[in-house]
Amino acid sequence: MDVLTAIKTRRSIRQFEQINVEDEKIEELLRLAMCAPSAGNQQTWHFIVVNDEKIKNEIADMHPHAKMLYDAPACIIVLGDTSLERYKGFWVQDCSAAIMNILTAAPALNLQTVWCGIYPNEERVKDFKRYFKLPENVIPLGLIVLGYSKKSGFPVDRFKPERIHYNSFKH
């Protein structure tokens, strides 16, 4: 799948088959995540791969929008490490770029995904920090549920020329 098609057909898929995702595919997604740009090339990310049934179910219980984890075989939690920042606050952009790489690349591996946000919801951040015993400088940004699905992405035209401004913002 070429990158233009991957971007145009990326969708949040919430129905998964209970088929394990191969370790090689997860590693490839993580390699691609780490190809993302980052402020000052600091690569402020960490990743927790979860494929343990008990932990997945506890995450699904904890996160109100991650119930599909009861059926999905795995998820990747993307964490930002503020101690690695050269430019304060840019860990969010760094980790978001890494997430987008995973979301865009997954269909090329016959996998589907959905991004469930954690940060900046303070309660969710606290829950994940407590559950995974994260140090103060490590902040969970989001989790990507992934797996095989009979559903897949499809093209949608979301282009809105009225949202494009040249040289200044026009009302």
What local confidence, expressed as pLDDT, does residue 160 receive? 97
Domains in the chain and their CATH numbers?
Answer: 3-150 (3.40.109.10)
Written in H, E and C, the secondary structure of 19-40 is CCCCHHHHHHHHHHHCCCCCHH
Model confidence at 30, in pLDDT bands (50, 70, 90)? very high
Structural element, H or E, at residue 75: strand 74-81
pLDDT reading at 1 higher than 90: no
Percent of the chain surpassing pLDDT 90:
98
Q: Share the mean pLDDT of the chain.
A: 97
Mean pLDDT for the stretch of residues 4-12: 94
- pLDDT tens-digit readout, 33-82: 999 999 999 999 999 999 999 999 999 999 999 999 999 999 999 999 99
What local confidence, expressed as pLDDT, does residue 33 receive? 98
- pLDDT tens-digit readout, 80-90: 999 999 999 99
pLDDT reading at 170 higher than 90: no
What local confidence, expressed as pLDDT, does residue 63 receive? 98
Model confidence at 110, in pLDDT bands (50, 70, 90)? very high
pLDDT reading at 171 higher than 90: no
Strand partners for 142 = 78, 117
Residues 144/149/151/155 CA torsion (nearest 10 deg)? 50
